[in-house]
A and B are shown apart, each in its own frame.
Chain A
Amino acid sequence: MSSSDTGRMVNSLRKNLLPVLLSTLISVPAMADPAMDWVQKMSSAMRNLNYRGDFVYLHDNQLESMRISHYTDENGEKERLISLNGEAREVIRDNQNLTCIWPSSRKVVVDFSRRNSFSPIFIPEDIARLEKFYDMKLLSNDRVAGMNAVVVHIDPRDKYRYGMKFWINDQNGLMMKSNLINEDGKVVEEVMFTSLKLFDDDEKLVVDTMPKIDENFTLVRYHSGDSSKSFAADNAWQLANAPGGFWRESVLKRKIPGTDHFVQQMVYTDGLASLSIFIEKKTGLSSGGMSSMGAVNAFIRILNDYSVTVIGEVPAITVKQLAESVSYQQQ
């Protein structure tokens, strides 16, 4: 069985098991690996609990402060993120839409949210596969924002993915702090809560109240505006040499708003790390090369008449290798 077949099978299994796993909320069964058990508890808590907190976000020697409010009800998850320094930018998302608001520049960006959940749901096959590519262990407990935290260290076994450290609230499972660590052991991205608390249903209004948007705002859409309209993906685009453990999770094709051009997106994951490959017709001004922002790397490759961009929270070598592995195989 090829790795892509395995990926499709696991993806199918994940989708079929999703409702069952969601119903388990955070009372997940204990697994043999206590570190992975805590990671699963954390993922479940972040998805299912109602919480609000302030955190700092550090990347590229830039420090930003943000506030997050998240709740889950019968309609799914809803989350609101507000930047507390500089312009009061907001990102609001639910299971249908992702809305980004820049109040000072009066700009609103809307995209579809196609995810069933905001954080990963692990199935046993995921765990077994992850252990091939990551070493997971518990470190000594720590204290974050005045609360006790279990510390999980996830160390990659090769150079194609980042290491991670999670500080997890030992009572409710919420993530208190996280590090993404590059191949040199340097923290490339850090999130740390300075306050975090659970809230009741009556506080959902805080999340639901939209900021005032008037006719002076400019609306930017990253999609064609019709969520029901899908386009058949071009399966001739293939990946010859993906790093071990990465499999194709999804593929979609969308129309670029205001143009007759299409962009195809293929999402690859190893269960923890993920990256996307975007393929579209190149423009006269397209240029290739590496770009980075914090833990995110992107590599653009010009392939005949197309621009191939690989982007994700993975090391530079990974996005470059994948971009150079993309080819068009005529059927």
Chain B
Amino acid sequence: MKPLAGLAVAASVAMVTVALWQPLKQESGQPGDSLVSADQEKIQKLAEQQLQGGAVTVSTRVQNPGTRWKVERESPGMQQKLNAYLVNHTEQSNSMQGLIPQARVAGFDVQQ
């Protein structure tokens, strides 16, 4: 297993960067737009440089809202249904895998 060295540092950088990105993205207008302005490129570059060789990238949630599930064959409402199933599964099961299973739920996108 490859250790994720410097994760704590990466986390703090990522959080700051995400906080900065949000208003910038709103100015760009369209949800899901790629980051195109010079300032945004600088921020992304800076974050990537500090993220320990790219082992961790800044949350794609900001760049690509509504794409948390990687879906083989998308159909309308599938993401929401999977989210609902996951909430139910998390609550009904008693798994050791993820002692903080609700972290997955808290990570859902607004759009979902």
Contact = CB atoms under 8 A, between A and B. Distances in A.
Interface of A: 39, 42-43, 46, 55-66, 68, 79, 81-87, 89-91, 93, 98, 100, 102, 104-105, 107, 109, 111-115, 117, 119-121, 162, 164-165, 175, 178-181, 185-187, 189-192, 194, 222, 249-250, 252, 265, 267, 269, 271-276, 278, 285-296, 298, 300, 309, 311-313
Interface in B77-112: 77-78, 81-82, 84-89, 91-100, 102-108, 110
B69 A291 contact: yes
B106 A66 contact: yes
Instruction: Please indicate which of the listed interface residues B87, B100, B103 has the most CB atoms of chain A within 10 Å of its own CB.
Output: B100
B42 interface: no
B82 A311 contact: yes
Interface residues on B, range: 35 or more
Interface string B28-63: 000000000000000000000000000011111110
B104 to A, nearest CB: 7
B86 A62 contact: no
A81 B102 contact: yes
Main secondary structure of the interface of A (DSSP, over half): strand
6 contacts: A64-B107, A66-B103, A98-B87, A107-B110, A121-B94, A191-B103
A252 B92 contact: yes
A56 B69 contact: no
B100 A191 contact: yes
A187 B1 contact: yes
A147 B18 CA distance: 28
Top 6 closest A-B pairs, CB basis? A289-B72, A274-B93, A274-B95, A276-B89, A289-B73, A313-B97
A57 B107 contact: yes
Contacts of A300: 78
B88 A276 contact: yes
Contacts of B103: 55, 57, 64, 66, 81, 191
B110 A104 contact: yes
A115 B97 contact: no
Contact of B94 (A63, A178, A249): A249
A294 B82 CA distance: 13
Given A100-B105, A311-B85, A274 B97 contact: yes
Contact of B108 (A89, A267, A269, A288): A89
